Amino acid sequence: MAETVAVVTGASAGIGLETALGLARAGMRVVMTGRNPARTESARRLVVERSGNAEVATALADFASLAEVRRLAAELLAACPRIDVLVNNAGLIAPRRERSAEGYELTFAVNHLAPFLLTNLLLDRLKASAPARIVTVASEAHRGARIDPALVAHPQDWSTYKAYGRSKLCNILFTRELAARLAGSGVVAACLHPGVVATELGSRGGGLVGLGWRLAKSFMLSPEKGAETSIFLATVPDPAPFHGAYVIRKKVAQPAPAARDDALARRLWEESARLVGL
């Protein structure tokens, strides 16, 4: 995999950092994206040190801004003549209702709209690099979630859990429609549940959410274990069986019925494209 280039978003800590480390150990050239310059550079140095792979770079963007996502995509296209693997890992659990730079509900904007836009902006490069892969980190938190594509950017009912669950349902529906659009292109798209992982994601949830997360962390998976399925999908010799799939513990799993609704997936794609200006 010496010539393989992988982009991992949200790679400055947690699952993203461990994913970048695993791909660097596999011999890939890795671009780690993050929001904080010092933290992202520190993560890069750690990956180089632990992997022995010096071909690790960084790129910065705040996924709460679609303009930042567009700038990141332009930077990646300028720096990477090929992109073989895109791991959409960046995400958040918002402790309070907030809006993105464009005025959309923040969890939906960061967890769905940002990777939707970034993937589409890099899609031609991924196709030109085929065989290539797009791996998106979803979650079992999607179960029980419901979305109306026309309202999901400005939901009337909001809670930390509802917003996160909706965004993860969007990740799976996005992968489902993306896989259909990529048929025959040589690019495989899959999504996954990493497990309940002891990262800082939930700790930032605030209030009872953050407290519960901190109390439960000792019973959760390590970020290293949480990255295993992302690394597996990025490196498995034959990814074809996972095209369009939702994967848990490196095996195809059945998501909730709402996540298997092809008409809903198409409507979400169309509304997302409108929201991001594609």
Q: What is residue 225's predicted lDDT score, i.e. its pLDDT?
A: 87
Average pLDDT score over residue span 122-146 = 97
Q: What is residue 172's predicted lDDT score, i.e. its pLDDT?
A: 98
- Compute the distance between CA of residue 138 and CA of residue 170 in angstroms, rounded to an integer: 9
* CA distances from residue 169 to 9, 66, 139, 196, 256 in whole angstroms, order as listed: 19, 20, 8, 16, 9
- Compute the distance between CA of residue 110 and CA of residue 62 in angstroms, rounded to an integer: 9
Sign of the four-CA dihedral 213, 160, 260, 10: negative
| Token pair recorded at residue 260 | 């298997």
- Compute the distance between CA of residue 75 and CA of residue 108 in angstroms, rounded to an integer: 24
pLDDT at 210 over 60: no
Q: What is residue 224's predicted lDDT score, i.e. its pLDDT?
A: 83
* Helix axis angle, 37-51 to 14-25, nearest 10°: 40
Contact 71/61 with Cβ under 8 angstroms? yes
Q: Which CATH architecture has domain 5-276?
A: 3-Layer(aba) Sandwich (3.40)
Q: Which residue has the tokens 């567009």?
A: 70
pLDDT digits (tens, 9 = 90+) for 33-66: 999 999 999 999 999 999 999 999 999 999 999 9
Provide the 3-class DSSP secondary structure of residue 211.
Answer: helix
**pTM, entire model:** 0.91
Q: Is 246 a catalytic residue?
A: no
pLDDT digits (tens, 9 = 90+) for 217-249: 444 567 788 899 999 999 999 999 999 999 999
Q: What is residue 13's predicted lDDT score, i.e. its pLDDT?
A: 94
Domain ranges of the chain: 5-276
Amino acid, res. 135:
V
What phi and psi values does residue 266 have, to the nearest 5 degrees? Answer: -65, -40
Give strand ranges (E) for the chain.
5-8, 29-34, 56-60, 85-88, 132-137, 187-193, 246-248, 251-253
More reliable by pLDDT, 77 or 223 = 77
